[in-house]
Amino acid sequence: MKQSEDIVWNTITDSAKKRFDYDDFRKVFADMNRDSVLENVLFQTIAGHAAGQSTDEIAAEISQQFLLIGHTLDENYLKRFIENRRSDLFREIKAAEQALAFYDMGLQTPGILLQVRSILDKP
């Protein structure tokens, strides 16, 4: 991923943190003491929903990444988290869908970021 694209994905992820109890989510991973891991789980959840993946597919990808770094997750918790975020983060999922489509069309980050922000800022 290009650094300019990171701005779009970070905007979406930062918005998502405000849509549910992120502090509670953080407690589940307290032993890891790394926000980057939490943000990655959140981003993968949003991106997976945006790509039309099932809860099981998203959970399998996240679980596999955790295994690679020597950690395991409660599979039931992870699946509940992913499924619950579908409704909590509908704006972020829509913004990610649009961003993916626009990048596929060859549009540039500034225009995509403008669209993403307009989706996220709707009342």
Tally Cβ neighbours within 10 Å of residue 1.
Answer: 8
Q: Which two tokens stand for residue 66?
A: 């955790």
Nearest 5°: phi and psi at 99? -60, -45
Q: Sorting pLDDT into bands at 50, 70 and 90, what band is 70? A: confident
What is the chain's alpha carbon radius of gyration, rounded to the nearest angstrom?
14
Give per-residue pLDDT as tens, 113-122: 999 999 999 8
Round the average pLDDT of the chain to a whole number and report it. Answer: 91
- Average pLDDT of the segment spanning 25-41: 81
Q: How far apart are CA 72 and CA 97, in angstroms?
A: 29
The answer to whether 73 and 62 are in contact (CB under 8 A) is yes
Identify the pLDDT of residue 31. 74
Q: pLDDT band at residue 74, thresholds of 50, 70 and 90?
A: confident
